[in-house]
Amino acid sequence: AQSVTQLDSQVPVFEEAPVELRCNYSSSVSVYLFWYVQYPNQGLQLLLKYLSGSTLVKGINGFEAEFNKSQTSFHLRKPSVHISDTAEYFCAVSPLTGANNLFFGTGTRLTVIP
């Protein structure tokens, strides 16, 4: 079974400040890891993914995430946020086999304050 925990439901941060959104997961099998972003009244857009290889993954809009297998974490970071980054962010895992179903965390709402 898989589960994903996003430790912060809301993160307020000032414009141009750095941000980290935390994600921990639990799984009995190896998984792929994903971060998705959801802007108001829209669907989910893929930010970045970890399938294998380098544990530091770069995504769109200046975001990056680091896979830490020993701590089962996949935290999302951005060195300097913009107002346009205000959105809800979802961490998700997918088993390597089968239909690759996604298991999502409950989301973190990032609010960038001018």
Partner 1 sequence: DAGITQSPRHKVTETGTPVTLRCHQTENHRYMYWYRQDPGHGLRLIHYSYGVKDTDKGEVSDGYSVSRSKTEDFLLTLESATSSQTSVYFCAIRGRENQPQHFGDGTRLSIL
Query: How far apart are CB 16 and partner 1 at their closest, in Å?
Result: 29
Pick the closer one to partner 1 by CB: 75 or 105.
105
Query: How far apart are CB 83 and partner 1 at their closest, in Å?
Result: 23
Q: Which of 32, 64, 66, 72 binds partner 1 (CB under 8 A)?
A: 32
Stretch that binds partner 1, among 23-31, 38-46, 61-69, 73-81 (CB under 8 A): 38-46
Most distant CA pair in the chain, distance: 45
d(CA 6, CA 14): 21
100 binds partner 1 (CB under 8 A): yes
DSSP-derived secondary structure for 54-97: -SEEE-GGG-EEEEETTTTEEEEEESS--GGG-EEEEEEEEESS
| Type of residue at 94 | S
Count of CB atoms situated within 10 Å of the CB of 91: 28
Residues near partner 1 (CB under 8 A) are 4, 32, 34, 36, 42-46, 49, 51, 90, 92, 99-107
